[in-house]
Structure 1
Amino acid sequence: MEALRRQAAQDDFLTRQWYYTRLRDAYRQLRIAYPDQEGYASILTNLDIGLVQSS
């Protein structure tokens, strides 16, 4: 039972990590496409913080 709990926690972490990584990459692409827009740096920082906190 404990092994199943650990596996579920690991799967949850990997899912969150995947989503944060995809979001971060999407915002980086937006930042390259529209460099004159403000706020992308703070969004990327918040996504990086969220990725670290989810681990």
Structure 2
Amino acid sequence: MTSFTFPSTLALVLVWRCAKGQGELKGQISAAIKTIRANGKYKAINDKYFTFDVYGK
């Protein structure tokens, strides 16, 4: 698996479509999203660039 590191000041909105058979990759992406939402990093990035929750909640 390839690791990606983004500067903490960079806000990214990613739309990711996993091909059939890439269930492991989908699980890794889901886990990463859950992690940043749980540790507050998502909120920090969201609040820096948006006045609303782009995740929809």
Shorter chain as denominator, the TM-score bin is: 0.3 to 0.5
After TM superposition, the score normalised by the length of structure 1 is 0.40
Query: Is the helix fraction higher in 1 or 2?
Result: 1
Greater Rg by CA: 1
